[in-house]
Amino acid sequence: MSRTKKSIIKLENVWKIYKMGNVNVNALQGLSLDVKEGEFLAIMGPSGSGKSTAVNMIGSLDIPTRGKIFLDNHDISKLSESDLAQIRGKKIGFIFQQFNLINTLTALENVALPMMFQDVDREKRLETGKRLLQMVELGDRMDHKPTELSGGQQQRVAIARSLANDPEVVLADELTGNLDSKTGQTVIKFLKKLHEKGKTIILVTHDLNVAKHADRFELLKDGKIIKHRR
């Protein structure tokens, strides 16, 4: 008999309301989502659907106006920013569309940086950073700065950095949006490898060709899920 997989991230009736002058904008309207360990989930939706706000909630980057968010069955919806930062630093690795690399640091230094905030000693940071860059086939680019790398290489550095603290969950936000289709496929290949190794992958995208690599996808519109498919 197969074992029921546990929930890693769960959103229950999550609302996020922003005040714009005298107007309330409902970015999320009762969003409920259950992400199981080891799952590869794609969240789709057009511009303005609430994807970015959903990423902030799923990734513990923000707290909801109403509703609850559970990480490993612990309610984190009312934690302080400092507590959230510690939790997401250990549990969640982020890959952003704009890469968010620091141009004054080498690829190796960029990958090692998240470990500094978790008080990992320098020797261990560099050892892990080298291993991760070799994993994404950038062993010969460790001393290069982001401006000396192609877009696809920068994205692979970002993937390596997301794994620095060995997170349970990798959250990728439109990671192929700035890449040509061939390079995008290479990046997706690395995500699939991570999934095969047991990582939980949450991929936010507007591209159905990217979403089809996931186990299931949820379609978001007007801040709520309107379609679910496995």
pLDDT tens per residue across span 89-131: 889 999 887 889 999 999 999 999 999 988 899 999 999 999 9
For the chain, the structural domain boundaries read 39-61+80-229
Residue 1 has pLDDT above 60, yes or no: no
**Strand 7-20 relative to strand 23-36, pairing:** antiparallel
Q: Report the 10 Å Cβ neighbour count for 189.
A: 10
138-145: long-range contacts (C-beta < 8 A, 24 or more apart)? 138/107, 141/107, 142/106, 142/107, 142/108, 143/106, 143/107, 143/108, 144/106, 144/107, 145/103, 145/104, 145/105, 145/106, 145/107
156-191 tens-digit pLDDT: 999 999 999 999 999 998 877 767 777 778 888 888
Residue 220 has pLDDT above 70, yes or no: yes
pTM of model > 0.75: yes
pLDDT of residue 2: 46
62-80 tens-digit pLDDT: 889 999 999 888 898 888 8
Residue 7 burial (10 A CB sphere; 0-12, 13-18, 19+): middle
Residues 27, 16 contacting (CB under 8 angstroms): yes
- Residue holding tokens 């309207």? 29
Q: What per-residue string of b and e applies to 157-185 under the rule 16 or more CB within 10 Å gives b?
A: bbbbbbbbbebbbbbbbbbbeebeeebbe
Residue 3 has pLDDT above 70, yes or no: no
Q: Which CATH superfamily is domain 39-61+80-229 in?
A: P-loop containing nucleotide triphosphate hydrolases (3.40.50.300)
Give the angle 84-72-53 at the CA atoms, nearest 5°.
Answer: 50
| 101: its two tokens | 């690399």
